[in-house]
Chain A
Amino acid sequence: MTEFFQSFGMPYEWAWTVATLTGIIVISLLVMFAVAMVIYVDRKVLGAIMLRRGPNVVGPFGLLQSFADGLKVFLQETIIPSAANKGIFLLAPIITFTVALAAWAVIPFDAGMVLADINVGLLYILAISSLGVYGVVMSGWASNSKYPFFSAMRAAAQMISYEVSIGFVLVCVVLFAGTFNMSGIVEAQKGHGLGIINGFFVNPLLFPMFVVFFISALAETARAPFDLTEAESELVAGYQTEYSSMAFALFWLGEYANILLMCSLCTLLFMGGWLPPIEWAPLYYVPGIVWFLLKTFFFFFLFSWIWATVPRYRYDQLMRLGWKVFLPMSLLFVALISGYLMATKIAPIF
């Protein structure tokens, strides 16, 4: 796109800036649209599992439900509690939302279809997603109210705990791929399963890590069964209790953008991203972005399915799972995988 703007006679750096800004706007709008549709899908799936219809009034099949909800919250009054710390109270949802969008900069939707193809892409995602906890913690503290504060405490502990095991899982993937670049990781999965199947998930050493990553992703995005930060039977609505109108909507959108991000990470790291599932030439005629979206929405369906199926964890069980099960397990697999890779490097018979 830079060349396109350069053709108007702009110098390279300004053309680059304009091209990048355009890319940012396009990706943000598309992600926001995807979030709106995904909220609808989430409610429909939940409805189907509970044997009811789900949203079906606004638009054909209720397709416009999310937009109607958006319009509704947009027109509502923003209420700020008088005892709240006003600046931080308003900053918190903005941070959640911005951080949720910022991580999409390094996600490759197709070969070469990525805004920032940086060689520390995976670390960037880890860095940005570690910022997500601030929105929750700040809102909990600034609300100056008991339930949000408890929720913030829970969220801080939960997100830090599961980030550790996510970090080790990413190390395992990077060891196999040999790069931190997202596109490089996808390319490394080409024909990984005996030259037939694309994706790391078929590797017996990486499949357990895939399961750990998926469950940690549920915990990291505070999705059921780990939604203790907004457990309505204990904490009203958790950190969102005091929020209304657009401030609340920003939390909501940020949350779903994060869920979509985690789904696309599952796709990119383990399922071969934009590559077709099987290494077969006719499948390459389907555009890569279609494969990417299909796989991402498959994971989102799993997220909805789990939400509708399983009961909520107890908090001590959540901590036990993170620290006593996933952390030792992922550490063991880092050792196993690096050992295996060294062994195959020295004696390539394996």
Chain B
Amino acid sequence: MIQAIAFYLFAGLVIASAVMVIMSRNPVHSVLWLILAFFNAAGLMVLVGAEFIAMLLVIVYVGAVAVLFLFVVMMLDIDFAAMRAGFVKNFPLGLAVAAILLAELVLGIGAYSAGGLELGSAETVAAQAPGESNIEAIGRLLYGPYIFLFEIAGIILLVAMIGAIVLTHREPKPGARGRQDIGKQISRRPEEATVMKNPEVGQGVEL
């Protein structure tokens, strides 16, 4: 009973907020609706007993990815008229994307109802032992049969990270003040930075 109420609440809110993501005019509102959608999706994960995935969904998507979205979108100077002007021009493209997505959905559901795919062999599919927590089951799979795939994913992410840093890294221009040396700043004592002067009346101070 409560499970059913919770399921329909979360599922309904996911769909409603997903619709609001594309319906709302203001991009900041869109991001906030997206966050609500993530959050309710995490609720659905908890309902099916995948609490580890649910928490990761919130930590990674809500806590990091969506904050960056919001960070960027907030700084946009939104011109609503210009946004609406592009609507007619972009409409066919949007329609095409929507049609492709719909076709994929139909294909996916069709393939599933025709029997579905056999994923992996029996011993590598998560058969959760009783009393074993989510985290242990996922860890056993990731660091057991799928260790190489997992490490390849890690390497790809590392390369992407290094690539992003290399692309955006700039040496300071010659003549600019350059990098700050924190150690030098902290080790500076008052005696080196300030001078006590006691000038005579009517005489200036030599700096």
CB of B59 within 8 A of CB of A137, answer: no
CB of B64 within 8 A of CB of A118, answer: no
Q: Does B102 contact A (CB under 8 A)?
A: no
Q: Does A133 contact B (CB under 8 A)?
A: yes
Q: Does B168 contact A (CB under 8 A)?
A: no
CB of B67 within 8 A of CB of A137, answer: yes
The A249-269 residues at the B interface (CB cut-off 8 A) are none
Which residues does chain B contribute within 8 Å of A149, judged by CB atoms? 74
DSSP class of B's interface residues: helix, strand, loop or mixed? Answer: helix
CB of B133 within 8 A of CB of A131, answer: no
The B49-108 residues at the A interface (CB cut-off 8 A) are 51-52, 55-56, 58-59, 62-64, 67-68, 70-71, 74
Q: Does A242 contact B (CB under 8 A)?
A: no
Known: A141-B74, A152-B74. A124 touches B32 (CB 8 A): no
Q: Does B122 contact A (CB under 8 A)?
A: no
| Alpha-carbon gap, A178 to B163, bound state (A) | 35
CB of B71 within 8 A of CB of A131, answer: no
Cβ proximity bits B16-39 to A, threshold 8 Å, 1 near / 0 not: 000000000000110010010000
Which residues does chain A contribute within 8 Å of B35, judged by CB atoms? 134
Which residues does chain A contribute within 8 Å of B187, judged by CB atoms? none
Question: B16 to nearest A CB, angstroms?
Answer: 16
Which residues does chain A contribute within 8 Å of B67, judged by CB atoms? 133-134, 137, 156, 160
Cβ proximity bits A105-132 to B, threshold 8 Å, 1 near / 0 not: 0000000000000111001101110110
Which residues does chain B contribute within 8 Å of A133, judged by CB atoms? 63, 67
CB nearest neighbor in B for A167: B59
Q: Which of B59, B71, B74 meets A123, CB within 8 Å?
A: B59
| Alpha-carbon gap, A152 to B70, bound state (A) | 11
| Alpha-carbon gap, A320 to B179, bound state (A) | 12
DSSP class of A's interface residues: helix, strand, loop or mixed? Answer: helix
Q: Does A317 contact B (CB under 8 A)?
A: yes
Which residues does chain B contribute within 8 Å of A118, judged by CB atoms? 51
CB of B62 within 8 A of CB of A123, answer: no
Q: Does A180 contact B (CB under 8 A)?
A: yes
| Alpha-carbon gap, A123 to B58, bound state (A) | 10
CB of B71 within 8 A of CB of A153, answer: yes
CB nearest neighbor in B for A13: B2
Question: B172 to nearest A CB, angstroms?
Answer: 14
| Alpha-carbon gap, A167 to B67, bound state (A) | 17
Cβ proximity bits B132-168 to A, threshold 8 Å, 1 near / 0 not: 0111000000000000000000000000000000000
Known: A127-B62, A130-B63. A120 touches B135 (CB 8 A): yes
18 further contact pairs, Cβ within 8 A, besides A126-B59, A130-B63: A85-B28, A88-B29, A88-B32, A120-B55, A120-B135, A123-B55, A123-B59, A127-B42, A127-B63, A130-B59, A130-B64, A134-B35, A134-B67, A137-B67, A138-B32, A156-B67, A160-B63, A160-B67
Q: Pick 27 A–B contacts, CB within 8 A, sort by A.
A: A14-B2, A17-B2, A85-B28, A88-B28, A118-B51, A119-B133, A119-B134, A120-B51, A120-B52, A126-B55, A127-B42, A127-B58, A128-B58, A130-B58, A130-B62, A130-B63, A130-B64, A131-B58, A134-B35, A134-B67, A137-B67, A138-B32, A160-B64, A160-B67, A160-B68, A316-B180, A320-B182
8 pairs of A and B residues whose beta carbons are closest in the complex: A130-B63, A127-B58, A123-B55, A141-B74, A127-B59, A120-B51, A127-B55, A119-B133
